[in-house]
């Protein structure tokens, strides 16, 4: 392994460690405060928000020490309206494909699937506004900054774009620490990575991720609704599933830079 590769992988490890350590730290602090009655129970949501904000501030400071711009490194660039709209719809289509994958995995990885559902129940517990802010806004932004921003940038320095898309997606899956969730998040990570490569803007994966999580959270309230509502939701997901390859092909055909490489960006 070359020195350049070693340095890049070290930064990848550092970026992941920062956010995960902050999540553990805030989670411990939250539980400690609750034990002493100093903080109302707010679930995991507040931990995700606080850890995300702190992590981004740390990343900005670290990049400044490295004489790098946070906005440039993460590719916070303007994105066309057509790519923004495509990304929004792709967020729902990605949810449809992920749901199908998860349903299939539940038949083969029963214990991992049950563990995933328990984890999701824990995350979605608490104040609805805080849950939405954490799951639908904070988590997508900070995870995109980490995986499609900082980690993608480091990996593309030492490997091809195709390899970078695959490796960052694998890391995204491993980061979730659950086999069932990890498998479908690897798929989602590939979609998010490709959207970044094809649009050259992190806003594409951020929008996909935010819509994906927000719609998924909204659907969690429909379990006790009437059959008509559930049928409509089913039709929407079916249509989104059919549109998935069409939307991906559109992003590819309208990609900003057909020679997307690290040194050009």
Question: What HEC string does the chain produce?
Answer: CCHHHHHHHHHHHHHHHHHHHHHHHHHHHHHHHHHCCCCCCCCCHHHHHHHHHHHHHHHHHHHHHCCCCHHHHCCCCCCCHHHHHHHHHHHHHHHHHHHHHHHHHHHHCHHHHHHHHHHHHHHCCCCHHHHHHHHHHHHHHHHHHHHHHHHHHHHCCCCCHHHHHHHHHHHHHHHCCCHHHHHHHHHHHHHHHHHHHHHCCCHHHHHHHHHHHHHHHHHCCCCCCCHHHHHHHHHHHHHHHHHHHHHHHHHHHCCCCCCCCHHHC
Q: Is the pTM of this model over 0.85?
A: yes
pLDDT 10s per residue in the chain (265 long)? 788 999 999 999 999 999 999 999 988 887 777 777 666 556 678 888 999 999 999 999 999 999 999 999 999 999 999 999 999 999 999 999 988 887 787 777 777 767 767 777 777 777 888 889 999 999 999 999 999 999 999 999 999 999 999 999 999 999 987 777 788 899 999 999 999 999 999 999 999 999 999 998 888 777 666 676 667 777 888 898 999 999 999 999 999 865 554 444 5
pLDDT of residue 38: 63
pLDDT of residue 262: 45
pLDDT of residue 60: 98
pLDDT of residue 28: 84
Q: Identify whether the C-beta of residue 249 lies closer than 8 Å to the C-beta of residue 90.
A: no
pLDDT of residue 206: 98
pLDDT of residue 172: 96
């Amino acid at each position: 392994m070359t020195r350049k590769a070693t340095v890049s992988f070290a930064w990848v490890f550092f970026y992941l460690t920062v956010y995960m350590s902050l999540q553990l730290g805030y989670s411990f602090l939250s539980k400690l405060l609750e034990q002493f009655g100093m903080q109302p129970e707010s679930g995991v949501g507040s931990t995700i928000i606080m850890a995300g904000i702190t992590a981004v501030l740390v990343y900005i400071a670290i990049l400044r020490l490295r004489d790098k711009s946070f906005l440039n490194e993460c590719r916070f660039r303007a994105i066309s309206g057509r790519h923004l709209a495509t990304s929004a719809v792709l967020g729902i289509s990605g949810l449809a494909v992920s749901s199908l994958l998860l349903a299939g995995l539940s038949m083969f990885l029963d214990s991992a699937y049950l563990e995933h559902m328990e984890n999701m129940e824990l995350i979605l517990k608490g104040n609805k506004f805080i849950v939405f802010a954490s799951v639908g806004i904070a988590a997508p932004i900070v995870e995109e900054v980490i995986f499609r921003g900082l980690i993608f940038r480091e990996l593309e320095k030492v490997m091809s774009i195709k390899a970078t898309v695959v490796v960052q997606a694998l890391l995204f899956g491993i980061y979730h620490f659950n086999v069932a969730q990890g498998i479908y998040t690897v798929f989602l990570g590939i979609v998010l990575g490709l959207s970044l490569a094809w649009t050259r803007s992190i806003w594409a994966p951020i929008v996909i991720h935010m819509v994906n999580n927000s719609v998924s959270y909204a659907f969690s309230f429909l379990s006790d609704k009437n059959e008509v509502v559930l049928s409509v939701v089913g039709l929407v997901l079916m249509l989104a599933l059919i549109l998935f390859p069409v939307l991906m092909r559109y992003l590819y055909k309208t990609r900003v830079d057909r020679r997307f490489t690290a040194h050009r960006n």
